[in-house]
Structure 1
């Protein structure tokens, strides 16, 4: 009896030792969004060479079973292993019997939901022998748009080394890097065509923060030329998000500044299309309200420093008809002299109006 217990205990110790020698590395925030991404898991083997299979099961909190994948046998060696290409191509895939599983099978990606990913490394010799079993969980949400900030779309700039900035990719994923691509726009080209077909003048990868000073090693910007640019967020080799394509013109020709005084209020649409609005303590414009009296709904963000928080904006009322609006920012410490800002109004009919301005302290 004692010998049986001793043998059973020894077998248990050996089994635990084998399991401890293999672990699964999988990042659901990045790779748990598509069927192809599931095979990006890596197997860390601290033991000897082994022949194994990989079993992957995915379930969704409400829909239930989504899929089950079992690979053909492949070999893992000491160190960090990826699933072999042959094992991936010959893997057996069984889809669940529900509408979500059918959608994923057709489209290849996981829509919004709460998913569990069960990974098992199984011995290729004894299929009932589970070497390691790990469970990962992730709520898949649609990524927020990756918005460019500055230079503003269709802007004119006079800086041979401009600072290019964009909003961080959301949701935030540790280890996210950015790639910025910029190219010159030729005659009769759209910005998207230019980016797809022309040689880039900037192709910078591995950018850790949502900001880049124009590289000194890149070709100088040319007077009167238009340029297209786009930013891509990625982790490892997987694209997480991608911005729209924006354009700007490099022009150092002197332009008239628009500085409003007490004698007039220009329509906000005219100011937005204008060259350069300078707010000397006050942001002044006119806007038409076709509805009843209501509070003015507006936000202001800092283009020069996207991390800057704008607090305590003055409350403004809109009356029915044409309104002359004057927003006093002179005593608000959120605003810095020489910084660029973007004001956006939300109107009752669902439309929005925007005004980009340069803030100047009142001396």
Structure 2
């Protein structure tokens, strides 16, 4: 008799574990845990049959000595089907939302987003018929105030003389995996400001899915015209969620008439990793461009010979990095380490520790 009771208890325990394991919750606090509306941006994975469930979300503010409840949300019943489910938008209208009385909770109620701090996000999925807890998952995350997404170049109200300028900005902070950028550039018509131009004018550049914090002017976009004004803005996003958005800056396309080019414009190559098969022909000198998002500092770089690794490249000239876009010229013809038709690798250590490379073939000056 005792063995039979133990047997049925073990069967019941295994069945309960299997039922619980059939439901899981996916939630990303770094993306969706910053605002009150974002708490419902959750995915419920159902590995079993169709169920009718309810969802309870409790968010607490954690400090060193206590935990203060910020908000509790209870939804009405909705169905979850086998596979991945989202919370139906119509359910939100009938949900019960209870906001706490603490100072952080009042801030949330007034502004709609959570102040910086440590938070606990508790997600419980109940059976709508038996009230059984199908899953109880907790997520802990520290919210940091996002730094402004600052543009770098072209500078606000600047005058440029490049028909296809390089566009650069500071990266989104705090860094979030999977962050992409969108750059929009438009012409500013008469009696418009930059914000109006971005809202109403057809974009000249509207580039998405940019992983770096710079954009070489797209070859398919028409070049900028002299004596015209332009506005641009950068948006950081992940998926369909906007993480940050820069101010709107404007600049003028204007070339001084007094400037006369006495020699052809040097060809500059952007520093990129060799995954894209970068290749450069350096005729006596190396000309490249890179963007520095940090304070002015010396350029850290080295050059190695790929054709003959025994050749050591020394006595390279010192260069400084200013903030923004830098056009770097390095004279090679006076250094005996450079030999005609030999391949070399330029390695640059960026201020944030990132390594950039540029492969090139050295050619003697004609």
Q: TM-score, normalised by structure 1?
A: 0.72
1:139 equivalent in alignment to 2:124:
no
Q: Equivalent of 1:85, from 89, 106, 114?
A: 89
Shift of 1:102: 2.1
Decide whether aligned partners of structure 1 residues 124 and 227 sit closer, same or farther in structure 2, where only a CA change above 3 A counts: same
Give per-residue Cα distances to partners, 1:219-259, cap 9 Å, x unaligned: 332111110000011112221111111112223444559xx
Q: Equivalent of 2:320, from 335, 344, 347?
A: 335
1:67 equivalent in alignment to 2:71:
yes
The answer to whether the Cα contact below 8 Å between 1:310 and 1:334 also exists between their aligned partners in 2 is no
- Which has the larger displacement, 95-104 or 72-81? 95-104
Q: Distance in 2 between matches of 1:53 and 1:230?
A: 41
Q: Distance in 1 between matches of 2:297 and 2:226?
A: 38
Q: Equivalent of 2:202, from 199, 203, 210?
A: 199
SS state of the match for residue 90, structure 1?
A: coil
Shift of 1:88: 1.7
Q: Which residue of 2 aligns with 1:287?
A: none
- Which has the larger displacement, 247-256 or 99-108? 247-256
Q: Distance in 2 between matches of 1:147 and 1:58?
A: 31
SS state of the match for residue 220, structure 1?
A: coil
Q: Distance in 2 between matches of 1:138 and 1:191?
A: 37
Decide whether aligned partners of structure 1 residues 311 and 251 sit closer, same or farther in structure 2, where only a CA change above 3 A counts: closer
1:149 equivalent in alignment to 2:186:
no
The answer to whether the Cα contact below 8 Å between 1:312 and 1:332 also exists between their aligned partners in 2 is no
Q: Distance in 2 between matches of 1:212 and 1:342?
A: 16
1:233 equivalent in alignment to 2:218:
no
1:208 equivalent in alignment to 2:211:
yes
Decide whether aligned partners of structure 1 residues 86 and 342 sit closer, same or farther in structure 2, where only a CA change above 3 A counts: closer
The answer to whether the Cα contact below 8 Å between 2:50 and 2:79 also exists between their aligned partners in 1 is yes
Decide whether aligned partners of structure 1 residues 312 and 360 sit closer, same or farther in structure 2, where only a CA change above 3 A counts: closer
Q: Which residue of 2 aligns with 1:168?
A: 171
1:306 equivalent in alignment to 2:309:
no
Q: Equivalent of 1:126, from 130, 143, 161?
A: 130
Decide whether aligned partners of structure 1 residues 124 and 175 sit closer, same or farther in structure 2, where only a CA change above 3 A counts: same
What's the RMSD between the two structures over aligned residues? 2.8
Q: Distance in 2 between matches of 1:107 and 1:196?
A: 25
Q: Which residue of 1 aligns with 2:15?
A: 14
Q: Distance in 2 between matches of 1:30 and 1:224?
A: 42
The answer to whether the Cα contact below 8 Å between 1:169 and 1:241 also exists between their aligned partners in 2 is yes
SS state of the match for residue 304, structure 1?
A: strand
SS state of the match for residue 135, structure 1?
A: strand
Q: Which residue of 2 aligns with 1:159?
A: 162
Shift of 1:48: 1.5
Q: Distance in 1 between matches of 2:255 and 2:40?
A: 51
Decide whether aligned partners of structure 1 residues 163 and 44 sit closer, same or farther in structure 2, where only a CA change above 3 A counts: same
Ranges in structure 1 where 5+ consecutive residues have no aligned partner = 258-302, 314-330, 344-355
SS state of the match for residue 53, structure 1?
A: strand
Give per-residue Cα distances to partners, 1:2-35, cap 9 Å, x unaligned: 2221111111111111222221111101111111
Q: Distance in 1 between matches of 2:76 and 2:251?
A: 52
Q: TM-score, normalised by structure 2?
A: 0.71
The answer to whether the Cα contact below 8 Å between 1:119 and 1:135 also exists between their aligned partners in 2 is yes
Decide whether aligned partners of structure 1 residues 225 and 154 sit closer, same or farther in structure 2, where only a CA change above 3 A counts: same
Shift of 1:311: 4.4
1:187 equivalent in alignment to 2:190:
yes
User: Which aligned pairs between 1:1-80 and structure 2 lie closer than 5 A?
Assistant: 1-62=2-63, 64-80=68-84
The answer to whether the Cα contact below 8 Å between 1:309 and 1:334 also exists between their aligned partners in 2 is no
Decide whether aligned partners of structure 1 residues 125 and 153 sit closer, same or farther in structure 2, where only a CA change above 3 A counts: same
